[in-house]
A and B are shown apart, each in its own frame.
Chain A
């Protein structure tokens, strides 16, 4: 469904993403795992069409995605790392605007808004100003905004940052549901347990380069645990990326 070939992006002298390739199938959740500054957001931005890659291309259903108005962009939903919401407006008005950007209107838009708000558990807050929402509620609305136009591919860039356990759990349940509906999910994070819980496949990147691309089981098996330790993704991750501080 989504195929990313040899993406590269440099900011001046800094190569933020270097030769990244990955594929994503329907009903699959791919965890894009990497420390801060690894190039996760840059990768997601190129796939979503926010950044023009220096090299490489993004294929959706075998078609190369290119240009601002390419209809293939409709197949992709973006849940940005930032809480990209208008605080002054209520969820309904936020979603009405985001839907309008995709040409949605009228009853179809109203139904879609109702559905996504119900999915993320905000139906009863549909008319309250977002500025009074908790971090978890805003994260859920952020997710709803990415889902509104019913994309086949959903890209979630660290969607659980600053979220309480209940909201995090609710988001996970939403994602499980979307997977079961055949959506393809690309999920970036630096939280191991999220990947361990949900990912069908894991791509580890660091310094812009893919350093592992495997199933979870395959990844755990690839780095033998130290004597007396349980195999864990965290141990694998630290072995792969080193122990230097990144921030």
Chain B
């Protein structure tokens, strides 16, 4: 008989859910819309690399060395270079058109060449950046360093300015108060440099010393357990939004119990010969089914439309999903146990849920969090849900990777359920 009652409860809750068009849209369309949006943002952030990070370059120096720097960064496919004036370079950053502008000040090339030998009076390269996009500043800074060193060293060793700069450095060296033996060794280096350059000039052929360059190239390979795996920003955004809206559905479940209480319906349930466990169990079961459904529907959409794949383990994915749904539905029961009026309870629980999903990395992946926060958020169940789903989808981790998140989520489910049973008000009047 308990089973018949349980089935009746689940069936009724499903009917109620589908009879409320707003709830259905909220649970199915909203996560899909928002996750698509987040996915496309994180997706295009990755793909700007293909077209190159747009930067503005103003060359006020316009010397041999600076021109060769400009040529090198123009040839770099990871940068999309536009040449302009210093004013417009600054203006473009201010307006947000580009995230970084490079201004090569007058005299930069020669000063860099001299500093190359003596390490003193280093000239400044002016990087104007958008403070909201510091990640791109870092990338541009790194790429510039390589190009500047290459251009300067090449010119110093083999170019037309090299001899002049070596001469100047020799004069500075004579004037300096360095110990005599050190002076001599440096003088040898500078003389050799000058000879190299002079030899090039008279022979008309360059010796095979093109200057310094990064002494390695990079082979990039995504660190994935499964060759099919690969970062799909939609996998993460659908995990995040799926979990967020799954929790919203759980809130509706909790509020639904409060409404049933308010409307006297809970009296009918209590007057039937059913145990408290059956009543709460029925609610937990229907909550689990509804929340699981919202998650699976949005993931099905992601799989069909955005080619998200469960590259890890499908049973593992389902384990994490079911454990997440159970955690959420017991969260709903807890809301019903602690809440008084439906209105006030809704506000507080939405706030709590938003905090949980934010800290769980639903909006911004947790790897953007500072280290202490990444550690601290393991106390948030949503973190385990999202990490678990990420592991099973784009990270391609096998079934074993689902065990810990599932266990932790079941632990949270037990905690929430226990608190709910403990705090639930059974007296009806």
- A: residues with CB less than 8 A from B are 11, 16, 41-42, 45, 48-52, 68-71, 73-74, 76, 78, 80-86, 88-89, 93, 96-105, 145
Q: In the bound complex, how far is the Cα of B273 from the Cα of A55, in angstroms?
A: 21
Quick one: which of B1-43 are within 8 Å of A by CB? 1, 4-5, 7-9, 11-12, 15-16, 19-20
**Quick check: A101 and B429 within 8 Å, CB to CB?**
no
**Quick check: A89 and B12 within 8 Å, CB to CB?**
yes
- B: residues with CB less than 8 A from A are 1, 4-5, 7-9, 11-12, 15-16, 19-20, 263-265, 267-276, 427-429
**Quick check: B264 and A83 within 8 Å, CB to CB?**
yes
Contacting residues, chain B, for A42 (C-beta < 8 A): 429
**Quick check: B428 and A84 within 8 Å, CB to CB?**
no
- Expressed in whole angstroms, the minimum distance between the Cβ of B180 and any Cβ of chain A is 98
**Quick check: B428 and A100 within 8 Å, CB to CB?**
no
Contacting residues, chain B, for A97 (C-beta < 8 A): 8-9, 11-12
Closest A residue to B265 by beta carbon equals A84
**Quick check: A100 and B7 within 8 Å, CB to CB?**
yes
**Quick check: B263 and A89 within 8 Å, CB to CB?**
no
Given contacts A100-B5, A101-B274, contact A80 B429 (CB under 8 A): no
| Between-chain CB contacts (< 8 Å), 20 pairs | A45-B428, A50-B267, A50-B270, A50-B428, A50-B429, A51-B428, A78-B271, A83-B263, A83-B264, A85-B265, A88-B15, A88-B16, A88-B19, A89-B16, A96-B11, A97-B8, A101-B268, A102-B272, A103-B4, A104-B4
- Expressed in whole angstroms, the minimum distance between the Cβ of A102 and any Cβ of chain B is 6
**Quick check: A84 and B267 within 8 Å, CB to CB?**
yes
Q: In the bound complex, how far is the Cα of B15 from the Cα of A102, in angstroms?
A: 19
Closest A residue to B272 by beta carbon equals A101
Contacting residues, chain B, for A45 (C-beta < 8 A): 267, 428-429
- Expressed in whole angstroms, the minimum distance between the Cβ of A39 and any Cβ of chain B is 10
**Quick check: A73 and B429 within 8 Å, CB to CB?**
no
**Quick check: B12 and A71 within 8 Å, CB to CB?**
no
**Quick check: B15 and A101 within 8 Å, CB to CB?**
no
Closest B residue to A70 by beta carbon equals B273
**Quick check: B276 and A96 within 8 Å, CB to CB?**
no
**Quick check: B428 and A86 within 8 Å, CB to CB?**
no
Contacting residues, chain A, for B270 (C-beta < 8 A): 48-50, 68
Select which of B12, B263, B269 is within 8 A of A93 by beta carbon: B12
Highest count of chain A CB atoms <10 Å: which of B269, B274, B429: B429
Contacting residues, chain B, for A93 (C-beta < 8 A): 12, 15
**Quick check: A71 and B16 within 8 Å, CB to CB?**
no
- Expressed in whole angstroms, the minimum distance between the Cβ of A34 and any Cβ of chain B is 15
Contacting residues, chain B, for A49 (C-beta < 8 A): 270-271
**Quick check: B273 and A74 within 8 Å, CB to CB?**
yes
**Quick check: B276 and A80 within 8 Å, CB to CB?**
no
- Expressed in whole angstroms, the minimum distance between the Cβ of A179 and any Cβ of chain B is 21
Contacting residues, chain B, for A16 (C-beta < 8 A): 429
**Quick check: B267 and A96 within 8 Å, CB to CB?**
no
Select which of A73, A85, A86, A100 is within 8 A of B4 by beta carbon: A100
- Extra contacts besides A49-B270, A102-B272 (9): CB < 8 Å: A48-B267, A68-B274, A73-B271, A73-B272, A74-B273, A88-B15, A93-B12, A97-B8, A100-B11
